[in-house]
Every structure is written in structure tokens, then in C-alpha cells.
A and B are shown apart, each in its own frame.
Chain A
Amino acid sequence: MKITELFDRGEFVVSAEVGPPKGIHIDHLVEEAKTYLSGVHALNVTDNQSSVMRLGSLATCKVLKDAGLNPIYQLTCRDRNRIALQSDLLSAAMLGIENLLLLTGDHTRLGDHPQAKPVFDLDSVSLIHTAKLLESGVDLGGNPLVGQAPSFAKGAVVSPCSDSVDAQLTKMERKVAAGAEYFQTQAVFDPEKFIQFMERAKQFGKPVQLGIIIPKSAGMAKFMNDNVAGIHVPAALIAELKADKEKTKAGITGIEIAARIIKACKPYCQGVHIMALGWESKVPALLELAGI
């Protein structure tokens, strides 16, 4: 089911992220998804996340769909040129995968094959434009498609707590102009910043899902502050994670923090997107504590 239909109905849309394994055994991922994530509306499947080579996003989406879940196909411009990207979009439509999240993608240099050629023939904006073009029955080369055209829910990302927030809003506007229908954000740890961002972003009139990472430890928080673009964990939260190590290790502190952020931001957004990063089993407790 298209995630945009849920937004249209006024639902507070919950999605979670799963990362395909580095290998061909997917049973564990499917089991976990069925056990812990069957309550969410949709599941993002990452595309060689962080430029680390893994099992394909499209194949994983198909397996999840067959298991009765609702996948969101993440597609980046890092590894494929416009011919391969369009071909994969057609493949997705043919397999009944309707939800897309279209990204530029991390640079190859950051991953586990730093020698690889970075492609970036298209970028997030032109990929959204291309998906929209395919929906009109024409490809990027101007050639007509044969038969019924595909139809997608076209999603994109934005980074509300980026230190380049003006550049991010500009880019968001370009994505909307190109055809983006909904947005998921980078992880937010500072509701105040998110709310300020939404004050400016609401003019675009597109639903935004708040990005959430459950913080696992003070060390993880500091690591993200130093290394992950668009993420700032405030000192007070790091202190909270440090205070009771056992409670933090059990995931309780992280769930409390994440639930608090969701509650504070909920009136300003249209859904939440949870990047559990291995803590999928904690998602049900988080949603319960956050009251969704």
C-alpha cells in the first residue's frame, strides 16, 4: 500500500528501517520484522547503507512484501547510472513495490569499497524528477514506455538539525518541485531545533516523518556527534545516558529519551521513522511509551 494514502487519511504514519545482511540469508531479518515491526505502517529497506556492500534493497523489499509487510524501497544514485536506476524503478513497480525513498547516497569513499567508482549520474532531485517522468509514461531519454505506466509514492529525506539548515531547506524545496510527496528526516535529538525547522518547512505542504534513533550508550551518542552529518545529541542527553549504565544498557534510558522526543515533536509532524540499528526488538516498547 502506498504510504501517501495513509498521510492523506490523516494517519500518524510510523515506519522503521531494516538493513539487508552482507550475505544471502534473510530469514533472520524477516523473522525480526514480523515479530517486532508488524505494528508499523511501512518498512524502509536501505540500499547498501553507508556505502557498505550488502544484499540488494529491491530483492529484500520483495521478500518482505511476500511476508505480508509493506516495504519502502530506498534507492541511491551512488552505484547506478540513469539507465540502471530507471530499470530498477520499473522492476520495483513490476514487483508491486510502490513506496520509494530516493536519495543521493553517501560517497563510495566512506564505505567498505573505497576504491569503487562513485557514479552520481543523477542526484536525489533528478532521481525524483525521473521517477515522476516514468509515471507519466516516458523515460528520461524521452522514449515512451510500453503499456501501463508505473505509479509510486515518492519519498525523500531532509536533515533538520544540519548545521547547513538553509541549504537543506533549499534542497527540500527543490525536491518538492521535482515531485517528492513525503519526507523522512535524519535522526532528531533536539525537539526545539526540529520544531523551528518545521515552522519553515511546513510551507511546502508535504508530510514529514520525524527521524528517531534509539540511543544505545553515551559512547554511541558522542560518536554520532563527531561523525554523523546532521546529528547533534545535546550534552544533557549524553549525561542522562551516562547516569545509570545498567538502565542504559538494558535500553530503558534510550527508549525513554526517544519517546520523549517523539511526544515533543508529534504535534509538528505527520509521522515518525525509526532507525533501530539492531534494536528492532525495542521498537514496540518505544511506540507504546510514546503513545502511538
Chain B
Amino acid sequence: MSASVKSPWVLHYDASSCNGCDIEVLAALTPLYDVERFGIINTGNPKHADLFLITGSVNERQVPIIRQLYEQMLEPKVVIACGICACTGGVFKECYNTLGGVDVAIPVDVYAPGCAVRPETLIDAVVEGLGILEEKRLLLAAKSLKPAELPARPSAADKLVQGETVAAAWQKAIANALQTAGQEEQ
């Protein structure tokens, strides 16, 4: 497990949430649940953040703001849409001012449905997000490899037989390649 996974700093942004999901997200960040145990820090600064938690559906006015926050975050970064509104637009989907979920503005990595999103779902989503964060970090590190050294993404058929997900197998392959190139110790 690399350090990226041990120290995810969170940025929370409220698109047009009804505040139900916000309260869930913020409650999970209170000292009571002590997320600092996992190295999670709630930072108000996109330039320091690794995880981007967005709640609520997106309307015209929010698109540039969300894009700007997203652009200001450094790779590797992961976007988590919290609540069904952030996933698809939810109950507000048909409103004249609503464009839809967060993915109308920026690419979303993990969708955490629920109205409001349950703490369990949120935790699952963050755990899922950390896996993606690690994958993105490996890909970023792999940019320094020569194309010949880069392993090909395994096909789904190969991997399902061995009882391993494609993403996990690929991550391992990249990590191995980096190790042989002497760029990273295990």
C-alpha cells in the first residue's frame, strides 16, 4: 500500500444539494468518527486535496466552478459523487435548471447513491476511490517508463479465470514494471 492511500485529503463541495447529503458527509468528517485515523484530512483547498466529494445535482452556474476546482487539484485525484442527486440529478433531474449529475461537468470515478447517502455507502465509496487513486498514481509514475516497458492492460477474459479483477491485475503489472525499472521499491 503506497502513501497516497494512507493520506487522502478531502475537498467537499456542495453543488445544489438539499443539504441532506452535506450533513451526511460532514457528519462522517466530525471528530466522533475520527477519520484522521486513516490519514484523512478535510482541507478547504483544492490544491491540497486528493479526493473530491461532491453532493447535489449540477446546474449551469456550477459547471465552471466545479471544473475550476477539479482543474486545480493535482493528479492523482479522484472524484466521488455523493448521493443520488450528484450521481444522476436525482429528484431534481427534470427541473428546468438542472443539467444532471456531476458527470455533466467533470469525469466521476465513484458513484455513491442514496438519498441521503448512507455513511456505509460513503465509506465504501471512499475505499473504492482509494483503489482508483492508487491506480492513477501508478499510471502517473508509469509516464516515466518507456513505452516498451509498459505492460499491456490484461483482458477481462484472462483475469476472470484467475479470480482477479482487471484493474487489480493491471495495477500489479505496472507496479512490477516500475520495480524492474528501478523506480520504486516494494
Q: Do A and B come from one complex?
A: no
